[in-house]
């Protein structure tokens, strides 16, 4: 979704803003712009353009802009088409103020009518231009900008974060947050603002996340944060984030997604290092005895998430039910939040999210808390909103994931789910300790098995070449690998734009089998498992109808190899590990098909990395 960068200090703001926006490109956007404050000219200069940052940089190439402060934005259209006019920043009618904004002002139409009646004119279709004029409407030298912002915010409904500069108060940036993420970065005689930390990693690793209904005033030397209701200063210590800028770069790979696929063995290794202690104990950093005691009393789990994280939740359901013998319900956050779920203090609501900022998942978490359920967040981004608001957070330690298509974050969620499962099984004494111990020792072999699976890349390339022209793919799996089928299909459709549908293999006869002919590829995920024989029957049914079978199976499964048109072998491990291994060839397949079709792998059309609006 939209990206925000703000800067004030001793450097030329233009290059900080552009560099910051480059690091936010992964979030997905369709136009970009900057607004700069120059002390000597006493003017705000705005440069913006539709399309990618390259277009904005072209416009800037001919300009000699120097500025000590400014705002930068990448826009993902909500109100009004992607265009230069609708791109941010937006100026108020008198050109005194410039704003950048993420989120949605739900009552913007009514506010716009009111402002029009007062003589304000609008040039874009955005709710953002309404916001800046509303602030301008309350702004005078005597009231000052902060007061004007606070008055305007009282009138604005919805979920938003914004940053503002004024040519009349050139030594400060003002920022406000409600629901959409905003983080302040601390420098030496310079300060920064951004919608996520990756924009600021080249400059600082000290950050302060704004909470809802907090506003901040930044100068080059100071940062002040206030609570909207009390107007009192907020005293919170900045957090240090250990991600390096190198981790957020491509490191020789042609795409972030490919780099992130190859990082998976290391990600699993890191999780094991963090969560598996000597003697095979599973421990989660900072879990209190009180929280542990509450977990012991839990009678039911809800796993709530979106997209890829939802697939991780389904895998988690199968794991927890088998080993911890606890009932688990899985829900898509956007449904859960409006379903009026029946929850109480004996329920554990687990929210799973890479970004920790997904609007629907955040709403689901808040509902769970209102209903007094115990909450647990499994999140990648340290300090993100879900991480801060949940009763307890387990970080997935995958490092920054830049490719819009989630890969290593998914594998990290699954690996973390394995730890959570073993932990819960012990807590509830529901599986024989010998069995859990043997899982822990096998878990330690998982990074090497992931590494081995990556060796399939060349043969997957060949398979992708045979099928990259096709427009329809089916994915089927059972048990732990039913969600693998969903995830494989999601990966392919989001980055190649081919239609791909994942099914529980048992559902084949209930409809999708009608699609099978000699043009229909079916990706069958069939490693050894308790439903292996059923998968083989499904594959035979597909072959009997001339379908094309691309099979993922266990190494040494010659029978499946003979049956399939293409066969990819993953290392032999217990079933619980198979969704991690089986998804790797599917990620590689989707990647290759996307490249062969000339798609934008890392920033596929219409998609955003972090979905911070409903």
The footprint of ligand M6R (CB under 6 A) covers 306-309, 353-355, 358, 361, 404-406, 490, 494, 607, 610-611
Residue whose Cβ sits closest to ligand M6R: 307
Identify which of residues 22 and 357 has a Cβ nearer to ligand M6R in the complex. Answer: 357
The SS3 assignment for 473 reads strand
Identify which of residues 303 and 611 has a Cβ nearer to ligand M6R in the complex. Answer: 611
Nearest Cα to 379, choosing from 390, 361, 363, 394?
394
Report DSSP state, residue 35.
E
CB of 394 to ligand M6R, least distance (A): 14
Q: What single string gives the DSSP state of each residue in 289-312?
A: HHHHHHHHH--EEEEEE-HHHHHH
Nearest Cα to 354, choosing from 405, 287, 284?
405
Q: Of 2, 36, 137, 524, which is the active-site residue?
A: 2
Structural element, H or E, at residue 104: strand 97-105
Distance CA 343, CA 369 (A): 9
Identify which of residues 350 and 551 has a Cβ nearer to ligand M6R in the complex. Answer: 350
Identify which of residues 156 and 580 has a Cβ nearer to ligand M6R in the complex. Answer: 580
Helix axes 408-427, 264-275, angle to 10 degrees: 30
Distance CA 131, CA 99 (A): 8
**Cis peptide leading into 493, omega within 30 of 0?**
no
Distance CA 373, CA 534 (A): 38
CB of 338 to ligand M6R, least distance (A): 18
Report DSSP state, residue 123.
-
Distance CA 538, CA 541 (A): 5
Identify which of residues 375 and 610 has a Cβ nearer to ligand M6R in the complex. Answer: 610
Nearest Cα to 67, choosing from 181, 157, 165?
165
CB of 141 to ligand M6R, least distance (A): 43
Identify which of residues 120 and 209 has a Cβ nearer to ligand M6R in the complex. Answer: 209
Q: Of 48, 259, 408, 609, which is the active-site residue?
A: 609
Helix axes 446-454, 578-596, angle to 10 degrees: 30
C-beta of residue 174 within 8 angstroms of C-beta of residue 145: yes
Report DSSP state, residue 79.
S
609 carries an active-site annotation: yes
Nearest Cα to 100, choosing from 60, 127, 136, 73?
73
Query: How many helices and strands in the chain, by DSSP H and E?
Result: 20, 24
Reported in sequence order, the residue ranges of 89-139 that DSSP labels E, i.e. its strands, are: 90-91, 97-105
Identify which of residues 494 and 602 has a Cβ nearer to ligand M6R in the complex. Answer: 494
Residue 98 in tokens: 């410039």
Identify which of residues 14 and 404 has a Cβ nearer to ligand M6R in the complex. Answer: 404
524 carries an active-site annotation: no
C-beta of residue 365 within 8 angstroms of C-beta of residue 392: no
Identify which of residues 38 and 353 has a Cβ nearer to ligand M6R in the complex. Answer: 353
According to DSSP, the residues that pair with 258 across neighbouring strands are none
CB of 312 to ligand M6R, least distance (A): 9
CB of 76 to ligand M6R, least distance (A): 13
CA 90 from centroid of its chain's CA atoms: 27
According to DSSP, the residues that pair with 208 across neighbouring strands are 184
Distance CA 214, CA 212 (A): 6
Distance CA 320, CA 314 (A): 10
- The residues carrying an active-site annotation are 2, 609
């Amino acid at each position: 979704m939209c990206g925000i960068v703000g800067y004030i200090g001793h450097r030329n703001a233009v290059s900080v803003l552009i560099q910051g926006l480059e690091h936010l490109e992964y979030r997905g956007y369709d136009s970009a712009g900057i607004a700069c404050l120059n002390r000597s000219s006493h003017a705000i200069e705005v440069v913006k353009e539709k399309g990618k940052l390259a277009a904005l940089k072209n416009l800037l190439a001919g300009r000699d802009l120097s500025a000590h402060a400014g705002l930068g934005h990448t826009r993902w259209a909500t109100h009004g088409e992607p265009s230069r006019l609708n791109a941010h920043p937006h100026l108020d009618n008198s050109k005194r103020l410039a704003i950048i904004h993420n989120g949605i002002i739900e009552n913007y139409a009514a506010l716009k009518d009111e402002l029009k009646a007062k003589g304000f004119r609008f040039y874009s279709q955005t709710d953002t231009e309404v916001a800046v004029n509303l602030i301008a409407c309350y702004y005078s030298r005597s009231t000052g900008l902060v007061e004007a912002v606070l008055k305007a915010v009282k009138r604005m409904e919805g979920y938003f974060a914004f940053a503002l500069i004024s040519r009349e108060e050139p030594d400060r940036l003002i920022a406000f947050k409600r629901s959409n993420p905003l983080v302040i970065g601390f420098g030496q005689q310079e300060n920064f603002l951004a919608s996520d930390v990756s924009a600021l990693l080249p400059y600082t690793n000290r950050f302060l996340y704004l909470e809802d209904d907090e506003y901040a005033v930044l100068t080059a030397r100071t940062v002040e944060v206030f609570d909207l209701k009390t107007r009192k200063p907020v005293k919170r210590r900045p957090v240090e984030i250990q991600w390096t800028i190198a981790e957020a770069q491509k490191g020789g790979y042609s795409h972030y997604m490919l780099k992130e696929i190859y990082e998976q063995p290391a990600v699993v290794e890191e999780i094991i290092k963090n969560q598996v202690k000597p003697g095979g104990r599973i421990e989660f950093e900072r879990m209190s005895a009180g929280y542990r005691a509450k977990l012991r009393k839990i009678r039911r789990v809800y796993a709530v998430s979106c997209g890829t994280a939802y697939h991780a939740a389904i895998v988690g359901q199968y794991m927890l039910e088998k080993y911890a013998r606890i009932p688990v319900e899985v829900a898509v956050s956007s449904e859960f939040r409006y379903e009026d779920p029946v929850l109480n203090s004996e329920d554990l609501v687990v929210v799973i999210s890479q970004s920790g900022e997904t609007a629907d998942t955040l709403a689901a978490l808040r509902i769970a808390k209102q209903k007094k359920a115990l909450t647990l967040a499994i999140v990648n981004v340290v300090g993100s909103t879900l991480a801060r608001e949940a009763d307890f957070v387990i970080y997935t330690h995958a490092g920054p994931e830049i490719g819009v298509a989630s890969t290593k974050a998914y594998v990290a969620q699954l690996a973390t789910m394995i730890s959570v499962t073993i932990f819960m099984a012990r807590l509830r004494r529901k599986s024989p300790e010998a069995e859990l111990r043997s899982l822990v020792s096998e878990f330690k072999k998982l990074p090497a098995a992931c590494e081995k699976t990556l060796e399939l890349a060349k043969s997957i390339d060949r398979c992708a070449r045979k099928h990259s022209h096709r427009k329809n793919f089916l994915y089927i799996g059972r048990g732990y690998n039913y969600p693998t089928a969903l995830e494989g299909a999601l990966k392919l459709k989001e980055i190649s734009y081919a239609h791909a549908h994942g099914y529980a293999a048992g559902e084949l006869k209930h409809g999708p089998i009608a699609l099978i002919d000699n043009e229909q590829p079916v990706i069958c995920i069939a490693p050894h498992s308790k439903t292996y024989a059923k998968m083989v029957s499904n594959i035979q049914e597909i072959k009997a109808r001339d379908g094309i079978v691309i099979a993922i199976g266990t190494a040494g499964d010659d029978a499946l190899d003979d049956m399939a048109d293409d066969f990819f072998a993953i290392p032999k491990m217990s079933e619980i590990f198979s969704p991690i291994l089986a998804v790797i060839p599917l990620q590689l397949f989707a990647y290759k098909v996307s490249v062969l079709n000339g798609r934008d792998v890392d920033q596929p059309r219409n998609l955003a990395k972090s979905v911070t609006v409903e």
